[in-house]
Structure 1
């Protein structure tokens, strides 16, 4: 399988920036975070640190948190959300200041823009590049330097899409070394594959392995070990599966209920996840050595 660059929108991104007085970039977003995070505790059996959103975002039944990525050092975290009216956004958070802001993902055009209608089940953030999982459509790619400011808020346009040559569900996504790792959410009768992906213009999938974890929601790799989150509904804490391919073991109640995407920050050796259910929404980080 290969991922081929399609839907190039460089000219449309330039037009969007010109209509709104130029690019503001992620620096402007981080300098104007308008909502507050709160330190808290999340229900699971693993020692952890947790934050939660403002009340309006904790209980919102239109917007649902999905993907997570941490910048090196763990101060800045990005969380993707999808909405029931087919929109998507990224929340950029500064955990030191305990503040965050939503930035809507958009498809730019020559004379406007439209919402990006993806599930955004996983994201990978490296430098100014942000990859967004788009299920069977592959991956959308953004550059955070393209953020523009409008009267309604900030917008982040996509630049192009990486389209798969073969059938694969890009349900969740993460960074590993210089590449990416993507995985499939699946029930008992579906596949549960994980794909290792390069990040050049014609991204080659170097390995695909079926790890067999039913209802997996996120994947990370550290020192050759796989870590996967799995949900058990709205009231039961989730599981972390870990180990080498073919020898995974389950640690039940290791993460809160409703765990989604998973990320690993090699600079701090921490795992990060985000949970989705209304009034049970947390950003959670765990030291890998605690597992």
Structure 2
């Protein structure tokens, strides 16, 4: 059990600031051979198939559904899965909350560890769950596109990896938000998904006269703008370890929180979402201000989501021990031990299914799984 904080007032020292729209930079990449295909283009060209693993995981802890990735993704020492969001999160109209998207889609995130001296940044995986017995997916590289500053910002496009832990993601409306720890988070527009004919050099990222190198990824999603976290003097900076979209009777909100252990902070806070834009609501001066959660966080949080008006939090105990699900009751988080497979990460809620969806990160034990929320009431 974990008590609520005494000070549940606003985080007056912490603000978010939306950066400039990168649309012109993305257009420069289109001019050198990229093609804008959107989410539909990726869903029409899925190249990998997962394996259902529900029975395998039920030997550890009951799950409603689970799958694992193809062999090379299960074993990869470069790419480590982190965040999860669903097509239910994308729906802005609460009256249509749930399986409003056709097909039902998951998006997960992963960050890259440095392998052979190359750090590839972060990527997402788009998963089509139309046939749960045969989940199909494709990886999409996240990129930061800027025009060459040597030409006054109007030159050839320069590609850089998006260096973020990507510990949590939220798909809302046309936007995908990806957590970037101390920086705040990056925001992408799914309509900007691009297809390229990548050069064969799988250790390089860049655009030039010879073509576009993308670490071997045919699909890219470029940053549309950043949400930069700023802290007033004397305040403790927020760490955007994970993100989720709330589901409840009130207006939709974005929930953010911190992974922490020992003396580290484990705060949770909310932002309002503007129904007209599906972006975070800002003050008239353009500043985005958080509201501290009335429920205290717990050590080693990997993800948190509001479902049916109650907070649900995942925590892990390393590679071999099963994780916990914490459920809010009367303003206090109560632990349900051994509720998840080992290594749970981010968590999202799928209202029409009344399920909590999460994923695990460790090589050879990487699963995407759903838990029936009512089991933990």
TM-score of Structure 1 vs Structure 2, range by shorter chain: over 0.9
Following TM superposition, by how much is the alpha carbon of 1:151 offset from its aligned partner in structure 2, in angstroms?
A: 1.5
Q: Which residue of 1 aligns with 2:276?
A: none
1:1-291 correspondence to structure 2 within 5 Å: 1-41=14-54, 42=57, 44-72=60-88, 73=99, 75-84=104-113, 85-97=119-131, 98-110=135-147, 111-152=157-198, 153-166=218-231, 167-177=237-247, 178-198=252-272, 199-200=280-281, 202-209=287-294, 211-244=296-329, 246-291=331-376
Residue 246 (structure 1) shift? 4.6
Pairs aligned (count): 291
Measure the CA separation in 2 of the matches of 1:116 and 1:67.
Answer: 15
Cα displacement (A) at 1:38: 0.8
Give the secondary-structure state (helix, strand or coil) at the position aligned to 1:15.
helix
Q: Where does the alignment leave 5 or more consecutive residues of structure 2 unmatched?
A: 1-13, 89-98, 114-118, 148-156, 199-217, 232-236, 273-279
Query: Which runs of 4 or more aligned residues in structure 1 lie more than 6 Å from their structure 2 counterparts after TM superposition?
Result: none
CA distance in 1 between partners of 2:261 and 2:120 (Å): 23
Alignment RMSD, CA only? 1.7
Choose between structure 1 and 2: higher strand proportion.
1
Distance 1:142 1:244 in 2: 35
| Alignment check: 8 A CA contact 1:139 1:162 kept | yes
Could you state the TM-score of these two structures normalised by the residue count of structure 1?
Answer: 0.95
Question: How many angstroms apart in 1 are the aligned matches of 2:172 and 2:30?
Answer: 22
Where does structure 1 lack aligned partners over 5 or more consecutive residues? none
Aligned partners of 1:197 and 1:218: how far apart in 2?
16
Higher gyration radius (CA): 2
Q: Against the structure 1 CA distance between its residues 130 and 274, is the aligned structure 2 distance closer, same or farther, given a 3 Å change threshold?
A: same
1:159-195 deviations in whole A, cap 9, x for unaligned? 1111122210100111115221011000021111111
Instruction: Give 3-state SS (helix, strand or coil) of 1:237's partner.
Output: strand
